Amino acid sequence: MSGEGPEAVAARLTGRAVVAGRRLAGAVTEVALDGGPVVVKDAGSVGAARAEAVGLDWLGEAGAVRVPVVHGCEGRWLVTGCVPQGRPEASAALRFGRELAALHATGADAFGAPPPGGPTDAYIGAAPMRNVPGDNWPDWYVRHRVLPYLRRAVDEGTLLSAEAAVIERVCERVDRLAGPAEPPARLHGDLWSGNVLWGTDGHVWLIDPAAHGGHRETDLAMLQLFGCPQLARVLEGYEEAAPLAPGWRQRVGLHQLFPLLVHAVLFGRSYAEQALAAARPYASA
């Protein structure tokens, strides 16, 4: 089975005949089956495929946001439903903001808690991400979402030690920068715009989660990091449903340190510079 292609995997895990297949990206293939298309993803490892599958199920079980159905997970292969994509409309964005607020409100057992049955050793994109539970968000965020990637970036020469000291100063101040304490939210965990699909049905669908318990502002900060269509409307819908704590806009860069450092580890120096730029305003706060 290790030498199989996505079409064969889709046929076996769904029990349906293959009509055709087309590559969407390097690791993702849309396979037309008798009865409709599916998406087959080579997640890169058994652990990554399993983490993504249980993450999609956990998000879907909340009954708040739309995610593709998981048809099967085998080895490093994941087979999910296919989302026909349309245009990003303002009405869909407002609805998505409300749905995202509802997802977050369903909560998690702890900061860093994995989805039930999900692995401790999970992934965000191609980077390892450990889901280690904690009760205090500032401490957990520093220990498990900032420092592991900061240390790796320094070890690999992407960041200089003197530059890392800027981010370490932010880590020392997170307690007073974090804003009012909030309960753990059920996060998508990798909510950049590429993982937000605007369906032809007028709804937003979420894919490729790094799901865990975290701070709801982290999902919103990721959504803003690389730009998102109709972002103002998404935030408007969110705040209508679940107003954010005062000062949340000033904390966006703090929450973006995590994904920026992940990107620095995966993609290099330009993201390290963005992480430093995000950190500097907080380093002397």
The residues annotated as belonging to the active site are 190
> Angle 202-206-211 (CA atoms, 0-180°, nearest 5)?
155
Helix %, strand %, coil % of the chain (to 5)? 50, 20, 35
Interatomic CA distance for residues 14 and 243, integer angstroms: 42
Cα(267)–Cα(263) distance, integer angstroms: 5
The pair phi, psi for residue 134, each rounded to 5°, is -150, 155
Question: Which residues lie below 8 Å from residue 62, measured CB to CB, with a gap of 6+?
Answer: 102, 103, 106, 186
Residues 6+ apart with CB under 8 A from 94: 233, 234, 236, 237, 240
Return the DSSP state at 100. Answer: H
Residue 234 and residue 6: Cα distance in Å, rounded? Answer: 35
Structure tokens at 261: 């450092």
Q: Is the dihedral of CA 221, 272, 212, 53 positive or negative?
A: positive
Residues in the chain: 285
Are β-strands 185-187 and 127-130 bridged in parallel, bridged antiparallel, or unpaired? Answer: unpaired
The span from the CA of 56 to the CA of 189, in Å, is 11
